[in-house]
Amino acid sequence: MRIDGQRYGGKCSCGKTHEMTTKLSVIESGALLRFSDYLKELDLDGDHICAIYDTNTYNAVPADRRPKAVQEIILDPTGLHADEFSTAEVFRQMKDGITMIVGVGGGTVNDIARFCGYKKGLPLISVPTAASCDAFGSDVAAMTWEGLKKSISCLSPVLVVADLDIIKAAPSDLILSGIGDMLGKFIALAEWKIAHAVTGEAFCQEIHDIMDEAVTNIMNNCKQAQDGDDEAVAQVVYGLLMSGIAMQMFGNSRPASGAEHHISHFIEIQTEAFSETSDASHGEKVGVGTILASAEYHKLAKIEDIAPYVIPYKAWDRKWIRSYVGERLYEPTLKEHETDALAKVTPEALIQNWPKIREIVNQIPTAEQLYDTMAQLGAKRSLTDIGISEDKLAELLDNSPLARNRLTLMRMRRMMTKEVH
Ligand SMILES: [Zn+2]
Ligand SMILES: [Zn+2]
């Protein structure tokens, strides 16, 4: 499968001109054997490449499939994060005269490569070695900086080369993580439509439809993907890739991230009052967040008339934020929520749009459907599975919007009385 970037960039029916850096993406068996052909096709300089791996991804790619490079930097995967230490290590090792960076690996290696390429002003090529998350096509690097999670806008790859032979040989839990990340798009897309209805937030039907089709295909064929069926694995990789491309086109992660991601981020940032931690991967946490958000949203959508339960907007209490998140996260959290996305919502708009919101929510697969799908795969599907106590559910739903200032239905619950939570 070849995805021509030109199809997605430029003037769109939504009124925006979508920026598109990724010129070509290839998802095929043996794609890495043709790596230099793609460089030629795009007229890219392949003579001064620095390829970044970790030991696992280096070993996962047979020598004859490794992109030809004047320098290979192989990072130690033990405790490897996209942070100030790993990126400093790349800068320390990188030779002069490099004109192109190739990131070969999963989310972490590609985020490190993305950040380093951006800082050095060099173009990036992304080579995903697993279908584990949607990081490889996007321009945003999920970095940990001084202990804080940050999404940093960097650069998108000019070329993505996904070799299905390598991806199919990756450890089996990685594709489950990718499927979890993708199922989250059901929630993310619903949030986007709801925000568009309630506040008129910018919306692009074309991006929506690309993502909606991709996630529906994955939901229907994920068992085959887990079993290694070529076509079904390619669909998962395509969905993850298009998710990154959708973020590129739209200019932020709106098409790909909603309350389900905020639940995952909230667990990761470790606020002082929420002391539980999880070893689960990003996609596993997102998968569980998706089931939790779906259950809560479908519960809310059963309410025919929301008017008796709607209360006016009230800003978060700073004192409470301070005591809840702790000193380390207090300033960054305040900064994140400087202009609360919820402040735009009026009780009238919420009440008036309630029938529309219910309609949108009713298109999201139910929690039972999602749970059964993940059970079929043997994927993590409950808070217990990701190491979080079940009695933390209410706190997680109420406070996870602290992780990211974006208008979600979960955030709108702050304008509903506790009776309906
Ligand atoms: Zn994600
Ligand atoms: Zn558009």
pLDDT in tens, 320-343: 999 999 998 999 899 999 999 999
- What is the dihedral angle through the alpha carbons of 383, 133, 253, 238, rounded to the nearest 10 degrees? -130
Q: From the CB of residue 253, how many other CB atoms can be counted at a distance below 10 Å?
A: 22
Is the pLDDT at 280 greater than 80? The verdict is yes
Question: CA angle 12-16-21, nearest 5°?
Answer: 80
Residue 91 alpha carbon to ligand 2 centre in Å:
37
Distance of CA 381 to the CA centre of its chain: 18
Q: What is the mean pLDDT of residues 360-372?
A: 98
Distance (angstroms) between ligand 2 centre and the Cα of 16 equals 6
63 CA to centre of ligand 1 in angstroms: 30
Q: How far is the CA of 387 from the centre of ligand 2 (A)?
A: 39
- Checking if the pLDDT of 147 tops 90, the result is no
Q: How far is the CA of 202 from the centre of ligand 2 (A)?
A: 9
Q: Which residue carries 């320098």 as its tokens?
A: 71
- For residue 269, the model assigns a pLDDT of 86
User: How does pLDDT run across 44-64, given as a tens digit for each residue?
Assistant: 989 999 999 999 999 999 999
Q: How far apart (Å, rounded) are the C-alpha atoms in residues 322 and 334?
A: 9
Q: Which ligand is nearest to the CA of 182?
A: 1
Nearest to 368 by CA among 280, 300, 298: 298
Note the ligand closest to the C-alpha atom of 142.
1
Average pLDDT over residues 384-391: 97
pTM reported for the whole predicted model: 0.94
pLDDT at 146: 73
Confidence tier at 257 by pLDDT (50, 70, 90): very high
CATH, domain range 2-170: 3.40.50.1970
Distance from the alpha carbon of residue 69 to the mean position of ligand 2, in angstroms: 37
Residue 281 is predicted with a pLDDT of 93
Q: How far is the CA of 12 from the centre of ligand 2 (A)?
A: 5
Q: How far is the CA of 211 from the centre of ligand 1 (A)?
A: 13
Strands 2-4 vs 24-28: parallel, antiparallel or unpaired: antiparallel
| Contact (CB, 8 A) for 107 and 149 | no
Q: What is the pLDDT of residue 127?
A: 97
Q: What is the pLDDT of residue 220?
A: 95
Residue-wise pLDDT for 163-188, tens only, equals: 999 999 999 999 999 999 999 999 99
- pLDDT above 80 for 104: yes
How many C-beta atoms surround the C-beta of residue 164 within 10 A?
21
Point out which residues pair with 144 in neighbouring strands.
83, 149
What is the distance in A from the centroid of ligand 1 to the CA of 257? 7
Give which of 59, 127, 117 is closest to 90, Cα–Cα: 117
Determine the distance separating the centroid of ligand 1 and the alpha carbon of 186, expressed in angstroms.
Answer: 12
Output the pLDDT for position 50.
Answer: 98
C-beta separation of 182 from 236 below 8 A? yes
Q: Tell me: the pLDDT tens digits for 191-245? A: 999 999 999 999 999 999 999 999 999 999 999 999 999 999 999 999 999 999 9
CA of 275 to the centre of ligand 2 (A): 41
Nearest Cα residue to 215 out of 376, 93, 373: 373
Q: From ligand 1's centre to the CA of 286, what distance in Å?
A: 7
Q: How confident is the model over 254-277, as a mean pLDDT?
A: 93
pLDDT band at residue 370 using 50, 70 and 90 as cut-offs: very high
User: Which ligand sits nearest to residue 135's alpha carbon?
Assistant: 1
How much distance in Å is there from the Cα of 249 to the middle of ligand 2? 8
Q: What is the pLDDT of residue 6?
A: 85
Instruction: Please tell me the number of the ligand nearest to residue 285's CA.
Output: 1
CATH 3.40.50.1970: which residues of the chain? Answer: 2-170
Ligand 1 midpoint to CA 304 (Å): 32
CA 224 to ligand 1 center in whole angstroms: 22
Task: Output the CA 10–ligand 2 centroid distance in Å.
Answer: 9
> What would be the CATH architecture of the domain defined by 182-420?
Up-down Bundle (1.20)
What mean pLDDT do residues 293-306 have? 98
Cβ atoms within 10 Å of 148's Cβ, excluding its own: 12
In the chain, where does the domain assigned CATH 1.20.1090.10 lie? 182-420
Secondary-structure percent of the chain, ordered helix, strand, coil, rounded to 5: 55, 15, 30
What is the rounded CA–CA span in Å between residue 104 and residue 226? Answer: 22
**419 Cα–ligand 1 center, Å:** 31
Q: Kindly state the average pLDDT of the residues 70-96.
A: 95
Q: Are strands 24-28 and 159-163 parallel, antiparallel or unpaired?
A: parallel
Q: Which residue has the tokens 């949203």?
A: 297
Ligand nearest the Cα atom of residue 290: 1
pLDDT (0 to 100) of residue 183: 98
Q: Which residue has the tokens 């030109």?
A: 6
pLDDT band of residue 143 (cuts 50, 70, 90) is confident
Distance 5 CA to ligand 2 centre (A): 14
CB 31 within 8 A of CB 166: no
CA–centroid distance, 153 to ligand 2, in Å, is: 20
Burial class (CB in 10 A: 0-12, 13-18, 19+), 387: middle
Q: Binning pLDDT at 50, 70 and 90, where does residue 136 land?
A: confident
CA of 132 to the centre of ligand 1 (A): 9
What mean pLDDT is predicted for residues 255-280? 93
The pLDDT, as a whole number, for residue 401 is 96
Cα of 275 from ligand 1 centre, angstroms? 22
Q: What are phi and psi of 231, to 5 degrees?
A: -65, -40
Ligand nearest to the CA of 8: 2
Question: What CA–CA distance (Å, rounded) separates 227 from 153?
Answer: 35
Q: What is the pLDDT of residue 35?
A: 98
Window from 8-12, 133-137, 146-150 with minimum mean pLDDT: 146-150
Q: Is-contact 245 143, C-beta < 8 A?
A: no
Q: Would the pLDDT of 149 be above 80?
A: no
221-239: string of b/e by CB count within 10 Å (b at 16+)? bbeebbeeeeebbbbbbbb
pLDDT averaged over every residue in the chain: 95
Cα 237 to ligand 1 centroid, rounded to whole Å: 13
Bridge partner list, 4: 24
Kindly tell me the sign of the dihedral angle through the C-alpha atoms of 356, 359, 364, 368.
positive
